[in-house]
Structure 1
């Protein structure tokens, strides 16, 4: 079916261009994407793959920081560089090629090494939305990590080394309203019906209905009626399989047959029976949400508190008052077999109650803004509405500083020790990559980078790893297979691995920009040989 024509040709063109992604993160997510400015450090094959997957969906702007010239090796691993570009600025050529992919995007480049910028212009990174870094030395990574941690700007560090892909996300705090859970539970309140819902259902008498009306009652009403009978007899909701089966039998006993056509069954009653497991649940607040609402940042607001925490505090106050111990109602209903008039009547009851809950939270939000000396338009009513609709699944990600992983006085190595006990754990690659960092810092090259140095580099890399493991309080590695493998890579970047990791890093960047979907928590490692992956939190 063709979509209706927009009154604005420009908007219609934009919708057609970004149709599939708008279905994922909506107009407001796209607006956030188009307002973002991302910095990518080093236009390696991996760096340009990250940008490709940001330019195509319409990132607002990007800046490449890279002081290197294009080499023959770059041509073999970077899809966006051509043979006649050897010797030219890698940042400049990559920027020009990437901008050809989407005229909506603006791009710039800085033909300098990141170390120089961090040393000479420390404020350079202040205004970026997200920074993505590839192929950084250990020294530069530590400096960049500390700087962005101070600025509270997200940093995504990526490495593509042979068949190993690594990504680490550094965020001090990241709040997500729209987490898009795979299985979202319905908020029906059948165990604790609000006044207008109870009044409506109580006004319906199933026994006095004709067959035609009886088979067009929304299954939600049927379920409530029989649940009410069950609670009168048993005092509590059915919880076990046996009890739920008994409730289904009660509903089945209330089904009628058409006296003119015995094969004509009541689908609404069948829906009621099928929904017992899905719809019958205790109306409560998930523990994860309780933890957020009890967080000190929610309870003790300041004038600098983010909109997320101010609305969360308004919801907390709502729960203690108008909400009677419950979150604001979502107000959405699933489709069901019913007479249109009866279904719409029920739907409007849920919608009106949800709107009333939003209004109550909105008023409390305005009250909090006044108390904090903030402008009343610093939070919009639509933001409160969005928050209330998704409040049962909001998420707060608390991260750690990458620089701390390089400080033995601060770094908690227990996660490494515990994971290394499992010979199949991807943690071994984290250890290997840290060893490569140490090797690179000491010898200014990758292990195995030069053909005549592979064997000596194996010994050197083993020495670096032994020192590292000793610092962490870990025993030596059981076998040298991984050491030989890393030296065999010679610091090479494989385009297929970089393309995979680049798309993944771009996904995480979009999550951070749009504040939708939960980000990786916080380290991801992938072995392209076995197609195994692992995530770890440091």
Structure 2
């Protein structure tokens, strides 16, 4: 049996963890200190977007409250729960936030009160009505949210909601947890990302095409003429540029292949002699220069994905309805056409060097980055004014951030809404389909939503025997696959249908908690416009402890 707690807070914050807080740092305000760890992930600007976000949750199920919990704790601006159900004994058994004395009360109201206690910075409200009633009687209600999260919806509600939010370009996150199985599906018409936070990113040194100020500084240092002490504190960028020029003078070409880069490395290894004679070991900054050959000796080009964005019609011919992202892209496009390259990132990797020379070099890169960003900002402001946008539509800080990350811009577009049948051969392609993987449950879970809408109950709950519902579910799965124009060679295994039916719509808290954390991650990506959101469905099978993503 599930243990009964007198206070739900004790489950989140055991007494052993409730020690005295650390003394406040004078350099941080209370909010910065509170959100310190997440500020390192998405910065002040990301936290600001999070703090301005309005999130709607449909149905405060165990999964729904877990998703919202993981959004309230990092500080979303506000949330609204839409749920017309009353709390039942089943809710008490699966939902972490509900108590025994809550049975019969409004599920939306009780969940809202409990979630608000997690973070006083967050505002919360609830509507004690069904999503179907809200959608029918207040059609513009859902379009006012940053993102809508829907859990345990039947098909008759999901279809009109999906169409409505698709037309309004409001992201929809659909998720369901049933027994040991669950899935998350994103519906996003267009989503733009400036900071994708790539795992590996090469330094932007521009040694193949240095601008005059950088070239003048680099050429002013004769590495081979330096004494041992000065040479050992020379930045690796200077060393690399020096020997790159020697290589080009000798071979009359820029090193491109592995063999050519190896030749450049050998030149660096062989030449750190200087007036004091050869060093006993290769100095650290020379080792760094050799290491940078593979990542930084390359022709500066515009990445293919960035070129595709700059060639997009929204960028080429912006209109009054164009988002600020595309206005900045239009200004960036003009810069690339004039310069042939993206703006300088303006940052240097850490390297062994004395403070003065490293800071001087860093300032040269930063000054060039600021100058280019300022020019692009002026042009973006002109374009925005020409389109009738307000003076604050685009800020200088936004453009600086945009230019710094211009090489990692990303645009995600959905090719259909959930209500539409998947495009033939595209949404549920059999080259992606694993009949033994968690994604094989998708047709069954979608059939469950249809069954719940037609029968007003999930399969497995109408009768002690699950066979009648399982038979109807098999028919619903076959109908769905026909509507999707999907032909599975092996079909959907009967045991998967029986597995879903035997749960009777019940949720397990551990499964809901896992899915809730995953769904909250995706919502944060959508709100902050940082990190790439998944494309576009996630499936979890707690029986085999496996998960997978599938583009539907």
- TM-score, normalising length: structure 2: 0.91
The alignment status of 1:31 with 2:43, answered yes or no, reads: no
Identify which range, 168-177 or 459-468, moves more after superposition.
459-468
Identify which range, 506-515 or 473-482, moves more after superposition.
473-482
The alignment status of 1:507 with 2:521, answered yes or no, reads: yes
**Is the contact between residue 444 and residue 497 of structure 2 (CA under 8 Å) also seen in structure 1?**
yes
Shift of 1:512: 1.2
Where structure 1 has 5 or more consecutive residues not aligned to the other structure, the ranges are none
User: Root-mean-square deviation (CA), in Å?
Assistant: 2.1
Instruction: Say which of 363, 367, 377 aligns to 2:392.
Output: 377
How far apart, CA to CA, are the structure 1 residues paired with 2:478 and 2:504?
A: 20
When residues 451 and 496 of structure 1 are mapped into structure 2, their CA distance, relative to the original with a 3 A threshold, is: farther
Aligned position for 1:270 = 287
Identify which range, 496-505 or 362-371, moves more after superposition.
362-371
The alignment status of 1:362 with 2:374, answered yes or no, reads: no
When residues 194 and 261 of structure 1 are mapped into structure 2, their CA distance, relative to the original with a 3 A threshold, is: closer
How far apart, CA to CA, are the structure 1 residues paired with 2:361 and 2:262?
A: 26
In the TM superposition, what are the counterparts of 1:429-508 in structure 2 within 5 Å?
A: 429-450=441-462, 452-471=464-483, 472-475=485-488, 477=491, 479-508=493-522
The alignment status of 1:80 with 2:97, answered yes or no, reads: yes
The alignment status of 1:392 with 2:412, answered yes or no, reads: no
The alignment status of 1:517 with 2:538, answered yes or no, reads: no
Shift of 1:413: 4.8
Shift of 1:419: 4.3
Shift of 1:242: 2.7
When residues 285 and 109 of structure 1 are mapped into structure 2, their CA distance, relative to the original with a 3 A threshold, is: same
**Is the contact between residue 448 and residue 488 of structure 1 (CA under 8 Å) also seen in structure 2?**
yes
The alignment status of 1:140 with 2:157, answered yes or no, reads: yes
Shift of 1:182: 1.0
Deviations 1:381-410 (A, max 9, x none): 1111010011100111112443443x4xx7
Aligned length: 529
**Is the contact between residue 224 and residue 274 of structure 2 (CA under 8 Å) also seen in structure 1?**
no
How far apart, CA to CA, are the structure 1 residues paired with 2:550 and 2:255?
A: 39
How far apart, CA to CA, are the structure 2 residues paired with 1:130 and 1:259?
A: 66
Deviations 1:89-111 (A, max 9, x none): 10111111111111111111100
How far apart, CA to CA, are the structure 2 residues paired with 1:296 and 1:75?
A: 52
Aligned position for 1:330 = 345
Shift of 1:259: 5.4
How far apart, CA to CA, are the structure 2 residues paired with 1:282 and 1:419?
A: 36
- TM-score, normalising length: structure 1: 0.94
How far apart, CA to CA, are the structure 2 residues paired with 1:3 and 1:328?
A: 40
Deviations 1:504-524 (A, max 9, x none): 111111111111111111111
When residues 403 and 417 of structure 1 are mapped into structure 2, their CA distance, relative to the original with a 3 A threshold, is: closer
Where structure 2 has 5 or more consecutive residues not aligned to the other structure, the ranges are 1-21
How far apart, CA to CA, are the structure 2 residues paired with 1:2 and 1:236?
A: 60
When residues 375 and 402 of structure 1 are mapped into structure 2, their CA distance, relative to the original with a 3 A threshold, is: closer
**Is the contact between residue 419 and residue 427 of structure 1 (CA under 8 Å) also seen in structure 2?**
no
Secondary structure of 1:165's aligned partner: strand
Secondary structure of 1:489's aligned partner: coil
